[in-house]
Each structure stands twice: as C-alpha cells, then as structure tokens.
Amino acid sequence: MLVKATYTHKPVVPRGAGTWGLGGSVPVKGGYVLDMTAMDKIIDIDKENLVVTAQAGVTWKALSEALDEEGLFLPCYPSSAPSATLGGWIGTGGTGIGAYKYGTAGNIIRDLEVVLPAGHIVHTGDKYVPASGGGPNLTWMFVGSEGVLGVITEVTLSVLPKPEVLRAVAYSFADLSKFTPALRKLSRSDVVPMHVMFGDRAHFEYLRAVGKDAPDVGCMITCTLTGAKDKVDLDEKMLDEIMTSSGASKMPTEVAEHEWSERSYEFRVREMGIGAIPGEILVPIEGFERTLAEARTLVKKMKLKGPIIGSVADRNTIMLMPYYLTDDHNFFRSTAAMGFGKKLGDIAFENGGRPVGLGLFFAGNLTKYRGKDGADLIKRIKKAVDPEGILNPGKLVETGTRFGIPMPAVLMNFGMNMLAGMKRIMPRDKVGEAELSRLRK
C-alpha cells in the first residue's frame, strides 16, 4: 500500500518521547519532526492469544498498566517506561527491564507496521505466527534502526499471563567488582530472574544526598523473580546460596521492594538541580571487571563524578551505565564532558563489547559494530529504501550538521576525543560536592 501524500523532499525525523540520551530524534538537517506521541491508542488486547496491538506512540508504562487490568504481563520494557514510546525503544534496540528472562523488545515483537520513506506501508511479520522463514526477518531490520529506515506506526507484541508472584530480592557486596563470581554462578544455574539490576556505593550515596531512602552499601544487586509461588520460593533459596557463597549479604525485603519500585527513577540525583548524563555499554560478563576498572579510571581522569548503575542483559552480557553529574549551566564543561561517552564506548569495544546505539554523536562507530562490509550493507539498505535520504538524516549511516556541511565520521570521532582531552585539563567538577559533604557530616 502507498500513502497518498505530497512527497516533501524535506527531512522527516520520527520522535517518540525524546528520552534517548544520544539525540536520535534531533533534526540535524531541519525539516519536520514527526511527534509520534499523538499515536497513543491501544488497538487490541487479545487475551485468548496473548497478543497486543498498539500504536507506536503508546508509552511502555501505559501498555503495561492496560495489560495488568486484563490479567496480562508485559515481559520487557525500558526503565524509562513512564515516558518512552513503543516505537522509540524499538528504534534504539536497547536492553531493559525483563531482558534477563524474556529478552528485549525485538524478542517479543510479532509484527510491526512501518511507513517507508516513499510512503509504502509494510508489515514485517504476522499477528499469530513468528516471523521466521519467507526471506530475511524484516522485524529485526527495524529494531535498532534509529528511525532512518521507516516510521513504525503500529506494534504487535507477544505478552504473558500475569505471574502468580513477582518478588524482588536484594543483596549487597563490598564493591561492584566483587559481583563477577556470583554472576558466573547465576548464569550457569536454573534460576532465571526476570531482571537483575545493580547500583554502586556512589549511586546510593547521591540518592541519600538528595534525601532519598537508599542503603549504605558497597553495591546492591536486586533480582526480580516471577512465576508460581513454589517455584519463586525455591528460586529465592537457590539465589541466596549463589549470592551468599560469593560473599554477598542479603538485604531486608523492604529494601529490595523499594529498589524495584524505583526502577524507573534511577536519576533522582537530578533533583540537585544538575544534569546527569549516562553512558551505556554492553560487555561480556568475562570482560566486566576490567571494563569496570577502566571506566572508573576514565571517570577519575576526566575529573567527573561517576556513579555506576546497570543490569544483566542476558546470561553472557552485562549492561553498564555509568552516569556523571554535570553543571548544565557551564557550557564548556558540560560539552567537554560529552567526550566521556566516546571514551566509554572505546573501552567497551576493547573489552569485547559495544556502546548501546549510535545516535547523533557516534555514527562513526558503525564500522566498529559491523565491520566494513557489514556497515556498507547497512548503508546500501538505507540507500535502497530512502534514496533521497529524507528519513532522519545525519544518523546511523552518516553524521551531519544542520548547515548541510557533511561531517565525516573520523572528524566526529576526533572532535569527541578532543572534548574528552579538554575535560581532562579543565578544573575538577564540583557539582554535587556540597550535598555530599553535608551527607557525610
């Protein structure tokens, strides 16, 4: 089907809630921003077949609540669920809550309705059968495509019956670096928590500095178990054994439940009135300790304040999200601090992992992700579906500026490295120091 509309030849940029830190929905070459949040209807909840269809601008939280009323359960969603849209999270291909047990958005999609740049409307799958066979899997082509290949308008997802029990349990370790042995045991065990998330000492210290309830521990790991009560009871016992035999102490139930209830509000530190900018990387569990040590060294070298949070994405992969505090009012310092994201991404690549997504700043990493031939293939696909380059230009396959001046990827990378270098020679950041010293008194 072809949408009958005037072809504008001007850039069109799909935008969900604009929560992605990498600026994927910023219109770098002008044109139109397509605000998808107006497409906020849940079209059909098919309880019999455990399938839901909704427009792409529906938020993950709204969908989860609607399913809950029907006795159903959304297997995964980003922690930004209160504002992030279905199309936005699919567009970034990120990982999120529920990923350890159920996978990420791509794993639960049955079908996407997508409008291509020339106006054709395609369906990438089927409502009731998996999209395998019949050629390449078109659904996965749009997962993580960062809005450059098509505009997702409707999403059909597989959902689950609500589990009898959802239970959060938490453990503390002396330091995040001590978590690896427990992780190895967990990934080889029969215990499959829905979600495993963590925060380090600095993260909880900052939360306390803004007056929130947060434990005084070296780091805390919160695991959320789902299933029948007997199974969850057994899983909890096995988890206790895994964690305590690896040096952890079990935290009180109220602490675990509170942490779970706060899962969408990790950045409360912003209540200090400053910016908190996260960098997000995926690394293999085997490379976790080295990555952590190198990320901490980077934070120090760049004179940043850098708490670390994250989650375990699957049995092999850990998602680390160090965030740093920045004074948004100090243009030079906050801009220079952006070089942190680039350097953190480099650390991830060196340790067998990668940053999460490219967005506005890191299109230069596409070749590192896919190799030269893989990157060329993606560029050829883009050219084939969008020969005029109108959909979200300046992202994923190219870097760009609003003045129409092309910015070669190497130049962008060079600029980001320069920013990181500048930050290292600038005076130390003092953001958050007053609050912390009040807390420590």
Ligand X SMILES: Cc1cc2nc3c(=O)[nH]c(=O)nc-3n(C[C@H](O)[C@H](O)[C@H](O)COP(=O)(O)OP(=O)(O)OC[C@H]3O[C@@H](n4cnc5c(N)ncnc54)[C@H](O)[C@@H]3O)c2cc1C
By beta carbon distance, the residue nearest ligand X is 94
**Shortest Å, Cβ 98 to ligand X:** 10
Taking CB under 6 A as the criterion, the residue among 53, 92, 226, 291 binding ligand X is 92
Residue among 25 and 291 whose Cβ is closer to ligand X = 25
**Residue 218 binding ligand X, by CB under 6 A:** no
> Would you count residue 322 as binding ligand X (CB under 6 A)?
no
Q: Which residues contact 291 (CB under 8 A, 6 or more apart)?
A: 281, 283, 320, 347, 348, 351, 353
Tell me which of 113, 146, 236, 386 binds ligand X, using CB under 6 A: 146
**Restricting to residues 93-132, which ones interact with ligand X according to CB under 6 A?**
94-96
Which residues ranging from 332 to 371 are in contact with ligand X (CB under 6 A)? none
- Residue span binding ligand X (CB under 6 A) among the ranges 45-53, 73-81, 200-208, 421-429: 73-81
For CA atoms 385, 387, 389, 391, give the dihedral sign.
negative
**Considering only residues 374-393, where is the footprint of ligand X by CB under 6 A?**
392
Nearest-angstrom CA–CA distance, 97 and 75: 8
230 burial (CB, 10 Å; 0-12 / 13-18 / 19+) is exposed
Task: Give yes or no for residue 156 binding ligand X (CB under 6 A).
Answer: no
Pick from 25, 172, 351, 413 the residue near ligand X by CB under 6 A. Answer: 25
The answer to whether 246 contacts ligand X (rule: CB under 6 A) is no
* Contact flag: residue 317 with ligand X (CB under 6 A): no
201 binds ligand X (CB under 6 A): no
- Tell me the window of 86-94, 120-128, 179-187, 240-248 that interacts with ligand X (CB under 6 A): 86-94
The two most distant CA atoms of the chain are separated, in Å, by 67
Cβ burial, residue 76 (10 Å; 0-12/13-18/19+): buried
The tokens describing 33, both together, are: 């921003």
Residue that has been written with the tokens 């912390």 in this structure: 436
Which of 11, 28, 31, 36 binds ligand X (CB under 6 A)? It is 36
Q: Does 85 bind ligand X (CB under 6 A)?
A: yes
Q: What DSSP string describes 252-295? A: PHHHHHHHHHTTT-TTGGGGGSSEEEE--EEEEGGGHHHHHHHH
The answer to whether 128 and 51 have CB atoms below 8 angstroms apart is yes
Q: How far is the CB of 403 from ligand X (least distance, A)?
A: 21
How do 151-158 and 51-55 pair as beta strands? Answer: antiparallel
The span from the CA of 27 to the CA of 97, in Å, is 29
Kindly list the residues in this chain that would bind ligand X in the complex (CB under 6 A): 13-20, 24-25, 36, 56, 78-80, 84-85, 87-89, 91-92, 94-96, 146-147, 151-152, 266-267, 392
